[in-house]
A and B are shown apart, each in its own frame.
Chain A
Amino acid sequence: MVAIVPSYGIWLAGILFAIGMAGLLVRRNIVFMLMCIEIMLNAAGLVFIVGGARWGQADGQVLFLLILALAAAEVAIGLALILLFHRRYQTLDADAASRMRG
């Protein structure tokens, strides 16, 4: 098994996170926004994995499992919210819900 160079893993995670955040800010479709959040979560998970591999400890993988569970719960709630959102506004455009404008 080829050892992973930690800095490559960190770079990959950083790029993934940036892609996710850019998508979150650019896309207006709320489903895509949710997917972008998932990408960002996984980027964070990847950092834990890389960290665990670097120091040869199991903590990183344990935390990744935790993030995975969190992401699953978050997706369940997020999809329910999207469903309600669509029912109320008849659209998936996140900017449609701007009644809190000051």
Chain B
Amino acid sequence: MLQYAWLVPALPLTGFLVLALTASRLPKMVAGTIGTASVGLSMLAVLAIWVQVGFSPLPTGGYTLVLWQWMNVGGFTPTISLYVDHLALIMMSVVTFVSFLIHLYSHEYMEDDASYSRFFAYMNLFVGSMLILVMAANLLFFYVGWEGVGLCSYLLIGFWYDSADFDRAARKAFIVTRIGDTAMAIGFFLLFNALGTLNIQELMHRAAASWTVGQGMAVAGAALILGGAVGKSAQFPLQVWLPDAMAGPTPVSALIHAATMVTAGVYIIARTHVLFALAPAIQLLVAIIGALTLLIAGFSALGQDDIKRILAYSTISQIGYMFLALGVGAWAAAIFHLMTHAFFKALLFLAAGVVIHAMDGEHDIFKMGGLRKTLKVAFWPFLIGSAALTALPLITAGYYSKDLILWEAWSSPQGAWWLWVMGIVGALLTGLYIFRAVFVAFFGKPQRVVAHYPKGRVVIPLLVLSFLSIVGGFVEIPPNLGDIDAFTTFMASVLPSAQGAAEPTPGLILAWMQIAAGLVALGSIAIAAFLFARRAPLFNMLARSRGGRALKQFWAVGCGFDWVYLRALKRPYRRLSWLDRNDIVDSFYTGVAALTRGFYYMLSATQTGRIRWYAAGIAAGMVTFLALAVWK
């Protein structure tokens, strides 16, 4: 099956081609089925690869499938080639599986949309690009997928393009991620220039062989790749695009946040972890960015009233945890959290979609209420997703992955106590903001009638994802609770352990940390219940005070980053471009335009509208040609 691995990205791309070329001429049922089935078949192809890997393990160093040579220019010979190892396999499984469920959900959810076929075309392209990104064997092909998901996020965020706001959100997402992409492209140029190849595995070997720890080139390369990852994964300071990306339809948000796009940054850092290990300063920066982001986003999520924006900030915050894990060298823990996060974040978004449909497009949680009884089909999945997000001890997937990250943040050689503290404060915020949404939207008095109940194709993904949000974490259980390490063992062939060779026996301290993390999770839910379910008088007083209102406003705008960027970058830039409107380079182009316009006026002047002039023109032409014929 491995030699057919190209089917995995090819199937969704074929689906895209069929849907794009038929241009909405197919009946809705057929278009949606093509879109869903192409991803479903891709998922089956991944499953077949799993079966084969089960019988005969992958060769050490992964399996490379060269499809063809792209070009051959002066020793630069990038190939279109795919690379499958355990890391790529996990990513492929998560991407195809979660995407398939989201497609199945959209099959029903988007039924009333006029551009149904276009929606599935974009979604397929999105999944196909993400699979290229995950499976690419060299950085150039990787970049194709990287830009592909950027393009698709633009197309899908601006899916309802007749609204100026949505259009602006789409452009914002594209431009902000572009800043990171440019840094990343420069990083690739640098690496190719220094090491002479773009093949990822080859590149890592050469880097490890020829560079010492902390060498300038390694630091520069890692920093530039980090720049790209920060943009795509919406980390500080480029996180501003993701909350606005909620303009797209809800399944798109689920796809961007769970399976594709934002996880790409985590993946590329894990993929090039050798390079980051060579640049400890940059690796520390990764951890700091992650820790800062998870706090900023956690506070911002507390200030949101829009259910989707709460989830958006929560994604930024959870990706922050993954960056924290990458920064302390816990590569496998980051990918583990990526996987469990994909399950419960997709679940939360899909459940939120059901709520929004039921509320006739209402996003404000304070205009909902009481949905616990009237909309059970959304309540239970949302509750399970929230519990997993809060890392409710023992019973949820999120607990095992987040616990592993917190443990590594403390105990790994690159870890530090203050990183752990930031992580645990973030965990407290997580419980607060998500259960604020749960208590406000699902408890209390019903405020609106439920307008729409979902049917099978929406409910099945919710059930499957609910199940996985609970059991998905049981592949990796800490030593003192059951000691299962299937995930890290599986990853060990690609990603080294954070602790190095001498893994310390986790003693009492691990147990204390687990108790602390568990108490924080439970405590945050209790505080949220006290503050938001009961609407405690103390809270109301605080919320109505001047300071409380100002703080809420500050959080509501995402800690003011847009405000800062507007004043620090956008306005000065616009001012500069206004000052520069008469520069010398432009005068050449305006000159070309003026010349063309001059010719236009001359030609237009010959069209007098008087028939005698035309006759004269014909006569003059005839005389000229006769003269030419006679005298040559």
Q: Which residues of A contact B (CB under 8 A)?
A: 21, 24-25, 28, 33, 94-95, 97-102
7 tightest A-B CB contacts, nearest first: A102-B607, A98-B609, A101-B609, A102-B604, A100-B609, A98-B610, A95-B610
Mask of B312-336 contacts with A, CB within 8 angstroms, 1/0: 0000000000000000000000000
Complex Cα distance, B603 from A102, in Å, reads 9
B interface, how many residues as a size bin? 10 to 19
Q: How far is the CB of A21 from chain B (nearest CB, A)?
A: 6
| Chain B residues positioned under 8 Å from A28 (CB to CB) | 612
Q: Which of B605, B607, B609, B619 contacts A25 (CB 8 A)?
A: B619
Q: A24, B615: Cβ atoms under 8 Å?
A: yes
* Cα-based distance from A101 to B607 in the complex (angstroms): 5
Instruction: Give the distance in Å from the alpha carbon of A21 to the alpha carbon of B605 in the complex.
Output: 24
Q: With A24-B615, A25-B619 in contact, is A94–B609 under 8 Å at CB?
A: no
Contact with B608, one of A24, A25, A98 (Cβ below 8 angstroms): A98
Taking CB as reference atom, which chain B residue is nearest A37?
B615
Whether the Cβ atoms of A24 and B612 lie closer than 8 Å is yes
Instruction: Indicate if the CB atoms of B619 and A21 lie closer than 8 Å.
Output: yes
B interface residue numbers (CB < 8 A to A): 603-612, 615-616, 619
**Bound-complex Cα distance A102 to B610 (A):** 11
Q: Which of A33, A99, A102 sits near B606, CB closer than 8 Å? A: A102
Report the minimal beta-carbon distance from B607 to chain A, rounded to whole angstroms: 3
Measured between beta carbons, the chain A residues less than 8 angstroms from B615 are 24-25
User: How distant is A23 from chain B, measured CB to nearest CB, in Å?
Assistant: 11
Q: Return chain B residues, CB-CB under 8 Å to A100.
A: 607, 609
Write the nearest CB–CB distance from B618 to chain A, whole angstroms: 10
A100-B615 Cα distance, complex, nearest whole Å = 15
Highest count of chain B CB atoms <10 Å: which of A25, A99, A102: A102
Question: A28 vs B606: C-alpha distance in the bound complex, in angstroms?
Answer: 19
A94 B607 Cβ-Cβ under 8 A: no
- Set of chain B residues within 8 Å of A99, measured between Cβ atoms: 609
Give A99 to B615 CA distance when docked, in angstroms: 17
**Whole-angstrom distance from the CB of A61 to the nearest CB of chain B?**
26
Cα distance A76–B264 when bound, in Å?
79
B442 to chain A, nearest CB (A): 69
Q: Which residues of chain A are near B603, meaning CB under 8 Å?
A: 102
Chain B residues with Cβ below 8 Å from A95 are: 610, 612
Expressed in whole angstroms, the Cα–Cα distance for A25 and B620 within the complex equals 11
Given that A21-B619, A25-B619 are contacting pairs, would A94 and B612 also be in contact in the complex, using a CB cutoff of 8 Å? yes
Closest to A95 in B: B610
Report the Cα distance A21→B615, complex, angstroms: 9
B residues in contact with A94, CB < 8 Å: 610-612
Chain A positions within 8 Å of B607 at CB level:
100-102
B607 (CB) vs chain A CBs: closest residue: A102
CA gap between A25 and B616 in the complex, in Å: 6
Q: List 8 A-B contacts (CB under 8 A).
A: A25-B619, A28-B612, A98-B608, A98-B609, A100-B609, A101-B608, A102-B605, A102-B606
B598 CB, min distance to chain A CBs, angstroms: 15
Closest CB in chain A relative to B616 CB, distance in Å: 5
**Apart from A33-B612, A95-B612, what are 7 other A-B pairs with CB-CB below 8 Å?**
A94-B610, A95-B610, A98-B610, A100-B607, A102-B604, A102-B608, A102-B609
Cα-based distance from A25 to B623 in the complex (angstroms): 14
A101 to B605, CA, bound (A): 8
Nearest A residue to B600 via CB reads: A102
B-side contacts of A25, CB under 8 Å = 612, 615-616, 619
Whether the pair A97, B611 counts as a contact (CB closer than 8 A) is yes
> Which residues of chain B have C-beta atoms less than 8 A from A21's C-beta?
619
How far does the alpha carbon of A97 sit from the alpha carbon of B610 in the complex, in Å?
Answer: 7
State how many angstroms separate the Cβ of B615 from the closest Cβ of chain A: 6
Chain A residues near B611 (CB, 8 Å)? Answer: 94, 97
Contacts of B608 in A (CB 8 A): 98, 101-102
The residues of B that contact A24 with a CB separation of less than 8 Å are 612, 615
A21 to B620, CA, bound (A): 11
Rounded to whole angstroms, the CA-CA distance of A98 and B611 in the bound complex is 8
Q: How far is the CB of A39 from chain B (nearest CB, A)?
A: 14
CB distance from A69 to the nearest CB of B (A): 24
A37 to B616 CA separation, bound complex (whole angstroms): 13
Query: For the complex, what is the distance from the CA of A28 to the CA of B610, rounded to whole Å?
Result: 10
Please, how many angstroms separate the alpha-carbon atoms of A25 and B622 in the complex?
14
Interface centre among B603, B606, B608, B610 (most CB of A within 10 A): B610
- In whole Å, how far is A47's beta carbon from the nearest beta carbon of chain B? 14
Q: Which residues of A sit under 8 angstroms from B604, Cβ to Cβ?
A: 102
Kindly state the separation between the CA atoms of A99 and B607 in the bound complex, as whole angstroms.
Answer: 10
Q: Given the complex, which residues of B lie within 8 Å of A101, measured CB to CB?
A: 607-609
Q: How far is A95 from B616 in the complex, measured between Cα atoms in Å?
A: 14
Nearest CB in chain A to that of B619: its residue? A21
Chain B residues in 8 Å Cβ range of A98: 608-610
Complex Cα distance, B52 from A9, in Å, reads 99
List B contacts of A102 (CB < 8 A). Answer: 603-609
Give the chain A neighbours of B612 by CB distance below 8 A: 24-25, 28, 33, 94-95
Q: How far is the CA of A93 from the CA of B611 in the complex (A)?
A: 11
Closest residue of chain A to B606 (Cβ to Cβ) is A102
With a cutoff of 8 Å between Cβ atoms, the chain B residues found around residue A97 in the complex are 609, 611
A34 to chain B, nearest CB (A): 12
Closest CB of chain B to A3's CB: distance in Å? 28
CB distance from A102 to the nearest CB of B (A): 3
| Closest chain B residue to A26, Cβ basis | B612
Cα separation A21 to B622 with both chains bound (whole Å): 12
Q: Which residues of chain A are near B616, meaning CB under 8 Å?
A: 25
State the CA gap A66–B253 with chains docked (Å).
Answer: 78
Chain A residues contacting B609 (CB-CB under 8 Å) are 97-102
Q: How far is the CA of A101 from the CA of B343 in the complex (A)?
A: 68
- A80 to B150: give the CA distance in the assembly, Å: 66
- Whole-angstrom distance from the CB of B381 to the nearest CB of chain A? 67
**How many Å lie between the Cα of A98 and that of B609 in the bound state?**
4
A21 to B608, CA, bound (A): 20
Give complex CA distance A33, B610 in Å.
13
CB nearest to A102 among chain B residues: B607
Taking CB as reference atom, which chain B residue is nearest A21?
B619
**How distant is the Cα of A40 from the Cα of B476 in the complex, in angstroms?**
101
A27 nearest CB across to chain B (Å)? 8
Query: Which residue on B lies nearest to A101, using beta carbons?
Result: B609
Q: Write the nearest CB–CB distance from A57 to chain B, whole angstroms.
A: 25
Q: How far does the Cβ of B626 sit from chain A's closest Cβ, in whole Å?
A: 11
- Say how far B292's CB is from chain A's closest CB, in angstroms: 64
